[in-house]
Amino acid sequence: MRKLSEVRKVQRFGKSTLMVSLPAEWVKEMGLKPGDLVKITVRSNGTLVISPQRSHKLREESVVEILISSKTSDELLRRAIYTSYITGHDKIVIKSVDSNLTPDQVQGVRSMVRALIGAEIVEQDLSRIVVQVFVDTARYNIQSLVARMINIIKSMVNYLNAALRDLNTSLFRELLELEFELDRVYTLAVRYTYVLSSQRDGEAGEEAQLLTEYRALIKSLEDVGDTLSSIAKLVNDNDTLKRFAEHLREPIAEISDLINYALDVMMTSMNSRNILLANKSVDITAELASYFSKLEYSVVKRVGMEEYPRIRSMLERIRLACNYLQGSAEMIFDIVVASKGGKIDLTIK
């Protein structure tokens, strides 16, 4: 529908009620009739947003068709399916225009679908595959998805700590499984933000106003998980690093505790919208940088300068994970402060 911008006079109705009528064109477009409910949202800047209250009305299904040929690589196909998912499409139709789908293409579709929460292959023949996404975005909110990502990262930190302590290959494998699950939740969170951005003003509420911050936050958290999994792969495939693992157990355990503490404070501050707690999480993650310098010095003392270059790659990844974590804490601080609108209370009692 075309955008409307009108000036209407507020009228008195009864002794104490003020009233303004709704634009007739908008009422007709929305299909409203007497007795229907409308949702009224008051924003922090004083703007009043009115939208139809239609919890029963489903969003119109979005369908995308991906045309491929026998020369289309399975990697390109996977990437197109991924993008179609995160941009909010509900049905993804893959069709070969010149021949049957190749075995690699079919396998590429299947592996991609397994990586997408709520996606299933519902139709398949020699030249066509239909993927249906059964995710109901109304059941989710971005804050719960962020909390899920933080909890997975905490588990990854604990598994990495235990794996380095015990040099247990199965623990390294479990950490990689957790990273796969983190990627799935991240992808769903990205999809959610795209769907949220397409909704009418007023339907999405505060989350829609902070989409940029939330997108940066979930990307930063995904980077933390990717870095932790890269440490697991590096150590598990490197006998030299395994040999030095005993020198790293104590400092790694200490930094793991600090990371988990930072994650707990980050999640609590986000859930409670507490500015002081959010600021504390930023301070804790900043402290990780100075703590890492102590860790590095401790490792040099334990293994010597000649051997240090052999384990430097792992330590650099730990430093990188801490940097990403600090970025996540800063984004949560921005979200908490922005949620306060025109009044930011920094008083300490």
Indicate if 193 and 334 belong to the same structural domain. yes
Q: Which of 62-66, 96-100, 291-295, 306-310 has the lowest mean pLDDT?
A: 306-310
**Strand 91-96 relative to strand 128-133, pairing:** antiparallel
What are the residue ranges of helices labelled H in 74-167?
74-86, 103-114, 142-166
**What's 83's DSSP letter?**
H
CATH number at residue 127: 3.30.110.20
- Residue 349 maps to a domain: no
CATH number at residue 328: 1.20.58.220
Enclosing domain of residue 309? 139-338
Indicate if 233 and 306 belong to the same structural domain. yes
> pLDDT (tens digit, 9 = 90+) per residue, 298-314?
777 777 777 777 778 88
Number of domain units in the chain: 3
> pLDDT (tens digit, 9 = 90+) per residue, 177-214?
999 999 999 999 999 998 888 765 545 556 677 888 99
CATH number at residue 40: 2.10.260
Indicate if 229 and 314 belong to the same structural domain. yes
> pLDDT (tens digit, 9 = 90+) per residue, 122-157?
999 999 999 999 988 777 789 999 999 999 999 999
Indicate if 70 and 30 belong to the same structural domain. no
C-beta of residue 64 within 8 angstroms of C-beta of residue 77: no
C-beta of residue 320 within 8 angstroms of C-beta of residue 227: yes
> pLDDT (tens digit, 9 = 90+) per residue, 315-339?
889 889 999 999 999 999 999 999 8
Tell me the pTM: 0.80
Indicate if 242 and 101 belong to the same structural domain. no
- Residue 58 maps to a domain: no
- Residue 116 maps to a domain: yes
Indicate if 194 and 318 belong to the same structural domain. yes
Indicate if 325 and 261 belong to the same structural domain. yes
Residue 178: predicted pLDDT: 97
193 conformational bin, left if phi > 0, alpha if psi -120 to 50, beta if neither: alpha
Indicate if 313 and 188 belong to the same structural domain. yes
Between CA 279 and CA 330 the distance in angstroms is 8
- Residue 5 maps to a domain: no
Indicate if 96 and 79 belong to the same structural domain. yes
Indicate if 264 and 161 belong to the same structural domain. yes
Indicate if 46 and 153 belong to the same structural domain. no
Domain's final residue, options 106, 133, 160? 133
- Residue 348 maps to a domain: no
> pLDDT (tens digit, 9 = 90+) per residue, 85-126?
999 999 999 999 988 999 999 999 999 999 999 999 999 999
| 338 backbone dihedrals φ, ψ, rounded to 5° | -65, -30
- Residue 312 maps to a domain: yes
Indicate if 34 and 91 belong to the same structural domain. no
